[in-house]
Structure 1
Amino acid sequence: MQTRDDIFALLRDALVELFELDAEQVTLEANLYEDLEIDSIDAIDLIDHLKQLTGKKIAAEQFKAVRTVGDVVEAITSVINQAD
């Protein structure tokens, strides 16, 4: 099982790699849409990337209420900790 810190590091690295963001921009409080300029198409790319990294199926519906990086960390934590 991964900790929230591990998941945040994984997510930060993914955001930096996929969207050419500076790692310093990616904080738990950063708003995906306003601060990081992640649009809905980018969000789908991010979900696909996270599926590959975690090996878990991640439904887009699980991300409808996500607004911040911290929200994504919580959503991924929930997915990873679900019993298969």
Structure 2
Amino acid sequence: MNKEVIIEKINDFLIDEFEVESDDISPEANLKETLELDSLDFVDLVVAVESNFGVKLVGEDFVNVKSLNDFYSLIESKLG
């Protein structure tokens, strides 16, 4: 799966499941602030990634994830 497909799938579930406005989604956007994530939302995000991509994420995976682009790259590396 190439990065463009990964980005499209992630953006789709952010809009559908997290009710993020499409205008707020950009590679530079801060993941936590854009999604207004609390600890329960992170659980939902992990479940969404697992169901959409078949990969498991743990808390440590998010240590260096600040922007949506970091998140896209994390998923790409897990799939690679």
TM-score normalised by structure 1 residue count: 0.83
| Residues 1:44 and 1:64: Cα distance change in structure 2 (over 3 Å) | farther
1:74 aligns with 2:73: yes
Q: Percent identity?
A: 31
Measured after TM superposition, the shift of residue 3 of structure 1 is 1.2
In structure 1, how many angstroms separate the alpha carbons of the residues matched to 2:27 and 2:71?
9
How far apart in 1 are the matches of 2:14 and 2:63? 18
RMSD: 1.4
C-alpha contact (below 8 Å) 1:30/1:69 kept by paired residues = yes
How far does residue 20 in structure 1 lie from its aligned partner after superposition?
Answer: 0.9
The alpha-carbon deviation at position 60 of structure 1 amounts to 2.5
Q: Is 1:34 matched up with 2:33?
A: yes
Residue 13 (structure 1) aligns with: 12
Contact 2:30 2:68 (8 Å CA) reproduced: yes
Task: Give ranges in structure 1 of 5+ residues lacking alignment.
Answer: none
Structure with the higher fraction of residues in helix conformation: 2
2-structure distance, mates of 1:35, 1:63: 15
> Contact 1:47–1:60 at 8 Å: present in 2 too?
no
Q: Counterpart of 2:70 in structure 1: which amino acid? A: D
Aligned residues: 80
Aligned equivalents of 1:36, 1:49: Cα separation in 2: 14
Report the 3-state secondary structure (helix = DSSP H, G, I; strand = E; otherwise coil) of the residue aligned with 2:34.
Answer: coil
User: Contact 2:20–2:34 (CA<8 Å) still a contact in 1?
Assistant: no
